[in-house]
Amino acid sequence: MRRNRAALILIAVCAIGCGGSIGDLPDKFEVTGSVTFDGEPVEDGAIVFDSADGQSTPVGGAIVDGKYSVEVPAGRKLVRISASRETGEKDMYGEPIVDSYVPGKYNTESDLERTVEPGGDNAFDFELEAE
C-alpha cells in the first residue's frame, strides 16, 4: 500500500508535465540522494524538482526507504518534498488514516533550492525537521 501512494503521487506529478513533442524535451541528468525527517529516513514520500524560474515542467519521483533517484533537466530547481504515514487509526469505513507529516516549509511553501549540473555529481541529501 505504501508504494501505491508513492506511485500515485508520481503519476500525478508526471501528468502535470504532459504535452509537447519528444523533440522538445531537454536533456535530463540523474539526481540522487537521501531524505530524512527528524533524523529518520522518509519511508514513503515524493520529491519534485521544479524550475526556479517557472519555465519548465516539474519532474518528480518517489522516495522509498529514505532514497530517491530522478532524471532532471539542468538548472536551478525549487525542491518540494512530501511524505505520509499511517496513524494507526481507522476512518469510519475502516480504512487507515494517513498523516501528511512533512511541514509546508518543505513542500507547499518550500524555499529549498538546488542546481542540477550537466555531468555534475547531482547528489542532494535533505535533512528535514519538524517545525
Of 26, 7, 39, the closest CA to residue 77 belongs to: 26
Angstrom CA distances, 108 to 27, 58, 78, 95, stand at: 27, 14, 11, 26
The model's pTM is 0.79
Average pLDDT over the chain reads 86
Going from the N-terminus, what domains does the chain have, and what CATH number goes with each?
A: 2-128 (2.60.40)
CB 35 within 8 A of CB 66: yes
Q: Is the pLDDT of residue 60 over 60?
A: yes
Q: Identify the pLDDT of residue 20.
A: 46
The size of the chain, in residues, is 131
**Choice between 126 and 5, residue whose per-residue pLDDT is larger:** 126
